[in-house]
Every structure is written in structure tokens, then in C-alpha cells.
Structure 1
Amino acid sequence: MRLPIALAALLANASLPCVASEQIPDQYPQSVLYAKPVEVIPHVWSAIGATAPPTYENSGHNNNLSFIVTGDGVVVINGGAAYLLAKALHEEIREITDEPVKLVINENGQGHAMLGNAYWAEQGVAILAHAEAAEEFEDRGPQILARMENYNKEKSAGTVLQGPSETFEEEQLIEMGRFRIEVRNLGPAHSPGDIVVWLPEQSLVISGDMAFHERLLPIFDDTDTAGWLESWEDFEALKATYVIPGHGHPTNMDQVRRYTRDYLVYLRGQIGKLLEDGGSLEEAYYVDQSPYTHLDTFEQLATRNAGRVYEQMEFE
């Protein structure tokens, strides 16, 4: 299987510096997409989002919008953060193939996974998500939509709340064209209903927010860091050659292990020592996270992450 040069270099050398920068506001000015889709391996494409938080400049495209051209239809991973983003992605797909989009998979219940669902529903496309992700979006949808409308202004036009049309609990198998696609929930991770899309014959995983590497991972109030480490064992067991993460460029397992599992282990270790010494929540905000200062979104997330891990571990 012949790979694009940039991806081949990333996979060959896990020590290469990060190739993304949250300082770049937009890489594809003629589209609301942050970047034009690239072919990661044959027939598997991804429009790589910004590693910055969602902004008007990046139109909320700060996650990866991927799709698989199966030979018998297209499977899209992530509905997008807005109606216009979903529409722009569809326009790019039509430039690449005449095959119709037959399925959209939401990687979790966050806005950038589901707020574009209404566009796809208008096209008559089935939308699949984990049951917990659907519940999360139903519960928090109005707040998620309002937040997107606040930063995206007129770019939020057409966006209305639309949940998935189908849900599953543990695994959904899709046989389409030349691809066997396994949609799996591996257990607690970054947010409720996180899934990975595993292509066993291609040894490629579209990891969603199970795995990060170019930006610091965020820890939410409902992020289960201990559970995430347990779920990581099943993720690692895939032995994927190629990883398209939820955020950042395609890479390999070594890189996402270094910046996901190892970060969680490191931060929990720092907080664990603090708790053993009787340290307070206020002190937790200042634990050393210097090995990760080079990651995008570090300034926005590091302190908050430490506080949330402290609150979790205090009662473990």
C-alpha cells in the first residue's frame, strides 16, 4: 500500500516534531473547512481540523472529518460542527467520487461530531452513534448549539439539533464495498459514547477522542481518566499501523500512546503524589506538566485538567 509522503514520514519517525499549529487560523480560505481533505491511505480521506479551540476563523472545524470511499457508497465519520461545514465536506466528497454518502458515524456526543447532522439528514443519510453519545447530545444539545452560534455567528446558519437515526451499545459491523468497518465502543474514555472506527484489513483506526497527539487532551467533568486507561488496553490491542486521531494529523500508535496514555499516567501520578502529601485543590493547579508544554491548547487546558483529575482521584 503506497502512502502519501507526509504520512509515510510520520509513521517512519515517531520523534518528528508536531506538524500542526494552533496559530494558523485557516488553511483553506475558499471553504468553511479548515483544510482540504487528504487521502491518508487508498480510499480513506480526512479533512484535518485545527488543533486550536473552535473559533469563527476555523468555523468550528477543529476536529477531523473523515470519510471512506468503499466502492459501494461513502461512510463519513463525524457530522461536523455546523450545517455549513457538513455541506462543505459533502461538496469535497462529490469532487472525489460519484458514490453517494450512505452513512454518517458520530464519534461522540460533542458539537463537532453532531451539529452538522441536520444537513446529512436532509440528504436522507442514516446517522449512527453510540447510545450514550445520543443521550449526551439530547441532554446538552441546546447549550452546545448556543455555544457554536456564539462563536460562529452567520456561519451557524441552517444548524438545528438533529440526533442520530440509529444507535448501538458495544459494536456495529458494517460491510460495504471493499471495506469491513467495525464501529466499537471500547469503554469509558474522553466523553460519553466515544467510539473508534476500525478497518482491520487496512490496519487503520479512526480513533476519535480516544487518542490525541498534537494538542493537549482535554479532561471534562465526565471524563473517566482511570477508565480511559483501562479502555486504552483494548485500543492498543488493535495494533493499528495507522491512526487518524480525533484531532491532529494522521500518525501511529507510538505517538498517540505518548501523548494520551502516557500523559494520563503522568498527570495522575503527579496528582497522586500531591494527595499523598495532603495537598489541596489549589496546589493541584500548579503541578508540573512541563513535558507537555509544547502541545497546542496547553495554555487553555493544563490547569483545568489538573484540577479535574484532583477532584476525581480524591474519591477513588
Structure 2
Amino acid sequence: MRWLLLSLLPTALLANEDIADQYPGSVLYQHPVEVIPGVFSAIGATAPPTYENSGHNNNLSFIVTGEGVVVVNSGASYQLAEALHSEIKEVTDQPVVAVFTENGQGHAMLGNSYWVGQGVPVIAHSEAAHEFQEYGAQTQQAHLRTIKEKADGTELVQPTEIFDDEYVMELGEFRIEARYLGPAHSPGDIVVWLPNQSLVISGDMAFHERMLPIFEHTMTADWLETWDTEFEALNATYVIPGHGHPTNMAQVRRYTKGYLEYLREKIGAHIDEGGDLAGAYYVDQSPYTNLDTFEELATKNAGRVFEQMEWE
């Protein structure tokens, strides 16, 4: 099978948030690709969730171990989870034995109802499970308004297992380490690290083709510390990010760590000059205009970093 050799190359030109759907006939945005032997990912749109992309705007990955399949992310609906399972069955007759969710957001957990209905354990960090319990209903309603009948069958179902630091599975030639590295993009963010293959499914720890969003609870200084002390230490050869095509550490370092440092430097200078929140929205972010979702997120990100940094 042809592998996605582009995973070692800068891929900023491969994403385009204006392409509504790349897999007609399926609710998945794209057909799964084999990134390295045994590791597949159905790459979502680098755009906000829409009816056209069926809410599939994150990466849904799976690992064919020889002793069962491990899925990363339940998906944003029952139908997305079911569609991914259908693709898995085209690749292998091995059963799905576990699903990890990268965080507590809807696109990671709203498909839980499908997988739990199949008798598959759904595993999440304790903070992610709490986040989904608190905000899952709100997220489900937002998805229902967006994807309409494509949300049919979706019910709020909590993860069946939780952990705090690390959850390890040994299957075939794969050692699968689900790790909480520390505070990052959202509560309970985890990465799935495959040390034998030097591949990390980074979730929202790392972005590159689309601009990262900074939420009210996203502490950018903490994210940078987690990046420097834990994520870089993995020294991964391959990175499957939460959004966008598989790539390498240099790319996600440039557009995640680099962007956070750049924006904090600009906002810091703005504060030092006596600038206010209204002015913070207009700090120069032009080096990142090539990223998808720049128009939706850049000014929001600047405002939230200002609100954090004025109290640091």
C-alpha cells in the first residue's frame, strides 16, 4: 500500500478551508490514508464545522496492530464514528479494541455513543471527561444546528475509562502510550505516542495548516512550558496533528510554538507601550495569514492573550 510519504514534508499548501468536501458519498471529509505502516488517519477539514463537511474538521486516526485496532477520537457524531468503522473494516477484519479521545471537545467525543454501543471501551483523561460532562450538551446542540440530520443517532455518552497521567497498551509491534503532558490547548489534552514507530498523534497540542484557537481556558504560557519540557522531548519523526495533514516536528513547532511566542511578544510590547484591549485586536499577525481560519481566529486570539498577559 502506498504510504503518505508527504508526512516528512512541509504541507502548508495542501490544506484549503474552501474545499467543502473531499469524499463524496461519505460523511467523512477525506478517505483515510496510511501515514506509516499500520497507522491511518481520516483527515478533517481545516475549517470550522459546516453542514458540507459534516462536522468532520479534525483528524480521526486508527492503528492496526495485528492484535486489534485502536482508534483515536470518537468523531463529532454517531454517523462519523460509524463511517470511520466502515473504513476500518475495509482495511482489516481485526476488531476495534479501544478508542482514545484527544480532549473533551465535541469532535473528539460526540461519537462515543456509537463506539460504546459496539462494546468498545472509550478512554479519556479525567479533565477531558469532566469538560465533556459540563459542556457536552451545549456542544451537541451546536452541532445539531450545523449538521442537522447528519447528527441523527448522536447521544451524550461519557467515556467508559479515565486516567490522569498515562494509559499504556501493548499490542503486536505497537506500544501505545496515551499521555497527558501538561496544560496545553484545552483541559485534558492528550497525545498518543508510538515510541517504536517514532510517531505522535498529537491532538490539539500541535497545529500547522490552520490557525490554533486560544480559548478562555487556554493558558498560553503553560502551553509553551508543556511544549518545551514534554512535547519536544518525544523527538517524534512523524506528527499527526489534531487538524491538518500529517507532518513533522519542524512544521508544528513553527506554527504552534512559534505562533504562541510571536503573539505573546507582540501583545507584551503592546502592553509595555500602554496599549489597551481594543488596540490588542490589531497587533500585527501578518506572518500567519496563510493559515486556514486566520480570519475567524486571529483577533480573538490576540484579545485573549492580552487578557492573560496583563495579569502575568
Which range, TM-score by smaller chain? over 0.9
By how many angstroms is 1:314 displaced?
1.0
Does 1:253 pair with 2:249?
yes
Output the CA distance in 1 between the equivalents of 2:78 and 2:202.
23
Q: Counterparts in 2 of 1:4-153, with a 5 A limit?
A: 4=3, 7-11=4-8, 13-14=9-10, 17-153=12-148
Question: Structure 1: which amino acid aligns with 2:250?
Answer: D
1:266 corresponds to which residue? 262
Cα root mean square deviation, aligned: 1.1
Question: Structure 1: which amino acid aligns with 2:14?
Answer: V
| 1:240-288 Cα distance to aligned partner (Å, 9 max, x none) | 0000000000000000000000000000000000111110000000000
Output the CA distance in 2 between the equivalents of 1:86 and 1:172.
22
Report if the CA contact (8 A) 1:172-1:183 is conserved: yes
| 1:208-236 Cα distance to aligned partner (Å, 9 max, x none) | 00000000000000111000000102101
Q: 2:179 aligns with which of 184, 187, 207?
A: 184
2:290 corresponds to which residue? 294
Output the CA distance in 2 between the equivalents of 1:136 and 1:49.
22
Report if the CA contact (8 A) 1:3-1:41 is conserved: no
Question: Structure 2: which amino acid aligns with 1:193?
Answer: G
Output the CA distance in 2 between the equivalents of 1:52 and 1:273.
31
Identical counterparts, % of pairs: 68
By how many angstroms is 1:151 displaced?
0.1
Report if the CA contact (8 A) 1:64-1:247 is conserved: yes
| 1:8-60 Cα distance to aligned partner (Å, 9 max, x none) | 3451x43x542110000000011000000000000000000000100000001
Unaligned runs of 5+ in 2: none
Output the CA distance in 2 between the equivalents of 1:185 and 1:105.
12
**Aligned-partner SS, 1:24:** coil
Output the CA distance in 2 between the equivalents of 1:218 and 1:46.
22
Unaligned runs of 5+ in 1: none
2:197 corresponds to which residue? 202
Output the CA distance in 2 between the equivalents of 1:75 and 1:254.
27
1:156 corresponds to which residue? 151
**Aligned-partner SS, 2:176:** strand
Output the CA distance in 2 between the equivalents of 1:152 and 1:211.
26
Output the CA distance in 1 between the equivalents of 2:274 and 2:125.
39
Q: Which region of structure 1 is more displaced relative to structure 2, 239-248 or 168-177?
A: 168-177
